[in-house]
Amino acid sequence: MIDPTQFTPSRSLKKYVRKQGYRVSINQAFEEVIEHCALIRGENKVWITEEMRTAYTRLHKLGSAHSIEVWQGDALIGGLYGVGVGTLFCGESMFSLKTNASKTALWYFCEHFTLHGGKLIDCQMMTEHLASLGAKPLARDTFISRLQTLKQQVTSPALFRSQWIELNHASRPIKFGVMAPSNCSYLPAQQESVAVLLEPDMHSEEGYNLLIQSGFRRSGNNIYRPHCLACTACQSLRINVAEFAPSKSQKRHISQLKRFHTVISDQLDDNWFALYEHYISVRHRNGSMYPANKNDFLSFVQSRWQRSLYLHLYENGQLVAVAVTDVLDTGLSAIYSFFDPVHPWSLGSLCVLAQIRLAQDYQLPWLYLGFQIDECSAMNYKRKFNPHQRYIAGEWRNGD
């Protein structure tokens, strides 16, 4: 098996591909790829029989079998083919007529597959060549268990469209580290795991602005996204700021918001921690953030490379709510809010509305609200802001 997030091309491979001018496409020459895979076996002529070629070609026409092609000029020099099943890709065979052509096919495909929601590549038999490319053995029972989940999940419809994988994208691979599974904080019956960005030079406003559009979030200086093999409940959610249409209750909240004095600053109010401590003690006494710790909170919401703003809401001169938001080219990203936990009004919703108003003032298109889990009642306030989109299987889709 190959975890596509863990495939890392060597410097020599990247340099070689740039020098040779290799290009990579998807589903542009399926029958040619399978023909080359059959011939490359030499004397082992029964490996891919005519019946197999006919069957796989039929699967390709049905949209289940796919090819990745490597070109030099107009010449097909390498590639691979296989079958897509949910978020699993079952590789069948590969060929290479020029140095590093099959490695290039796998390299480009791993990154493209990951960005469109793919999670695992089945390489069938373990070989030294596959081991050199990052393949690892997986016990049959474990594989069967994962397969039951992976085949139920979906990837982006754009994943296997006939297309070129842009060279400037694939020549800049993005390396992630996948955390070991642990008990989910939101769904007790599930195990959670996250993919964490490992590229130092992408920990920047520019890098984060790119990755947030692919469903990633920031926590301190870390950029991450859920990568759970058995669950897809977490979906990034963003509000269309320009077309925001408040509900009746939200219109009432907007009227309430006008009664507060709003201060936007790049510094927290001197009295922020007393409010935060009260909020955590009342709302999250059983959570991981209790007891409130000033340094832990600041390391969570602040970053050395990302610009953030603090929206303060005051009532009669008293601080009652704070919203931390990142400022990006594509929108604002709500990081965290805390407020007077015994206030009679819905201060959490007011914090969201204040950020929508700020994004409108800045003429930014989106307000990113983080992850939505429908089964988690504490998160369901997010889906009430419409219109919104969710990041599902590698693309943003209009929400309910």
By residue range, what is the domain housing residue 182? 176-234
The CATH number that applies at residue 160 is: 3.40.630.70
The number of distinct structural domains making up the chain is 3
Show which of 122, 140, 170 is a domain's final residue.
170
3-class DSSP assignment, residue 155? coil
The CATH number that applies at residue 375 is: 3.40.630.30
**One domain, residues 354 and 390:** yes
The whole-model pTM stands at 0.65
Show which of 170, 200, 221 is a domain's final residue.
170
Rounded to an integer, the average pLDDT of 90-99 is 94
**One domain, residues 96 and 223:** no
- What are 26-83's pLDDT values in tens digits? 999 999 999 999 886 555 555 788 899 999 999 999 999 999 999 999 999 999 999 9
**One domain, residues 256 and 113:** no
- What are 253-297's pLDDT values in tens digits? 999 999 999 999 999 999 999 999 999 999 999 888 999 999 999
Model pLDDT, residue 170: 42
**One domain, residues 194 and 334:** no
**One domain, residues 144 and 10:** yes
- Quick one: pLDDT band at residue 199, thresholds 50, 70, 90? confident
Q: What is the dihedral of CA 154, 159, 162, 163, to 10 degrees?
A: 170
Q: Which helix (H) or strand (E) holds 272?
A: helix 272-283
**One domain, residues 298 and 335:** yes
Q: For the chain, how many helices (H) and strands (E)?
A: 12, 20
Show which of 141, 170, 199 is a domain's final residue.
170
Query: What does each C-alpha distance from 322 to 271, 274, 318, 338, 348 come to in angstroms?
Result: 11, 12, 12, 6, 9
**One domain, residues 12 and 83:** yes
pLDDT > 90 fraction of the chain, expressed in percent and rounded = 66
**One domain, residues 147 and 8:** yes
Rounded to an integer, the average pLDDT of 304-329 is 96
**One domain, residues 225 and 257:** no
**One domain, residues 357 and 212:** no
**One domain, residues 299 and 382:** yes
- Rounded to the nearest 5°, which phi and psi values hold at 223? -115, 130
Measured N-to-C along each axis, helices 30-39 and 50-61 cross at an angle, to the nearest 10 degrees, of: 160
**One domain, residues 103 and 248:** no
